[in-house]
């Protein structure tokens, strides 16, 4: 019982350290500001047509979406550890952004372990990804 408690405490501390670690790139790219500056500069000189302005605005929205996904990205290793140690409680699903599925796993104890095993394998092969995009490595 004492070993189990130590192992559980170690897992929680390790997961907490991994989740609180700063992302690899704290610097946000400034793509949308560059696109906006280009739009303003070329709009004043009249070099862009309306179709080109529309296309540039569409690209700006896509870049903002990509930046948001990278900024909110989740790490792979904490997801694996949470699934392995606390999978029956669905904590890994909460971490990845699937709140409703996390609640269902919590109530069913991870589908009596079957759902947890499937999730663990899917996370290992990187098939189960965060809700908002890809894993940040």
CA pair distance 92, 79, nearest whole angstrom: 6
Residues contacting residue 111 through CB under 8 Å, at least 6 positions apart: 105
* Residue 135, phi-psi category: left (phi > 0), alpha (psi -120 to 50), beta (remainder): beta
CA pair distance 31, 18, nearest whole angstrom: 29
Report pLDDT for 44. Answer: 66
The percent helix, strand, coil of the chain (3-state, each to 5) is 75, 0, 25
Kindly state the helix (H) or strand (E) to which residue 65 belongs, with its residue range: helix 50-71
Report pLDDT for 15. Answer: 47
Q: Going from the first residue of the chain to its last (137 residues), give the mean pLDDT of each consecutive group of 10, the final group possibly shorter.
A: 52 50 46 63 68 78 67 82 93 93 92 93 93 81
Report pLDDT for 26. Answer: 43
Closest CA to 56 of 88, 64, 22: 64
Domain boundaries along the sequence of the chain = 31-71, 74-132
Report pLDDT for 91. Answer: 93
């Amino acid at each position: 019982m004492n070993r189990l408690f130590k192992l559980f405490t170690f897992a929680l501390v390790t997961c907490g350290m991994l989740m609180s670690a700063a992302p690899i790139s704290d610097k946000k790219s400034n793509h949308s500001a560059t696109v906006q500056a280009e739009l303003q500069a070329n709009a004043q000189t009249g070099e862009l047509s309306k179709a080109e302005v529309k296309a540039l605005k569409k690209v700006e929205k896509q870049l903002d979406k990509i930046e948001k996904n990278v900024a909110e990205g989740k790490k792979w290793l904490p997801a694996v550890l949470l699934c392995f140690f606390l999978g029956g409680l669905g904590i890994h699903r909460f971490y990845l952004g699937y709140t409703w599925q996390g609640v269902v796993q919590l109530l069913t104890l991870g589908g009596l372990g079957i759902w947890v095993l499937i999730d663990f394998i899917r996370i290992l092969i990187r098939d189960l990804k965060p809700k908002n995009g890809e894993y940040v490595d």
